[in-house]
Homo-oligomer: A and B are copies of this chain.
Amino acid sequence: MELLKQRILEQATVIGSEVLKVDMFLNHQIDVALLNEIGKEFFRLYADAGITKILTVEASGIGIACITAQYFNTPVVFAKKGVNRNAEGEIYSCDVFSFTKNAKACIGVCQKYLDKDDTILILDDFLAYGSALTGLIDIVKKSGAKLAGAGIVIEKGFQQGGQAIRSSGIRVESLAIIESMDNGKIVFG
């Protein structure tokens, strides 16, 4: 998606060779007009997939999911972090590891919000090592719902998450794939 790539080149900052900060338009301050273009693009990609629900994980995924859901006319469900599997009863949960935060968290969705008749589109802001996405896929599998695929705003193609998930047969559409960020220079795939 050219508009997104252009914005990344103009405004994102690279820290080291692995961290990309896009908090000026995507995950702290949010450019809602850009989010609408992102939503339209996800709709273009998955318009024929029969999506009945969009699944994401708090916090950065929620804005993307809500704006995109307007094009699909579906509800959004967001997985909550810090779920206590034992205390909260009927929850589909999964442990995910955040490399950014260097911490493990349990994410979960109330079972009543994912039905086996649903067709799910998973959306998230980033795909790097794929831990959050793998967790969300696992939650969809546990629910018995059909998974249409995932939509990712920015994929770090030089980390292994996207490759591993695609090779397991799951459709992953990323709007911008970064091949490298060596010496602070962003190169798209």
A80 contacts which chain B residues (CB < 8 A)? 28, 59
Q: Is A132 an interface residue (CB 8 A)?
A: no
Interface of A is mostly: mixed
Q: Is A167 an interface residue (CB 8 A)?
A: no
Could you say how many copies of this chain the assembly holds? 2
Q: Quick check: B30 and A66 within 8 Å, CB to CB?
A: yes
Q: Quick check: A32 and B63 within 8 Å, CB to CB?
A: no
Rounded to whole angstroms, the CA-CA distance of A62 and B59 in the bound complex is: 8
Q: Quick check: B110 and A78 within 8 Å, CB to CB?
A: no
* A contact set with B: CB distance below 8 Å: 23-24, 28-33, 35-36, 58-59, 62-63, 65-67, 69-70, 73-78, 80, 109-110, 112-113
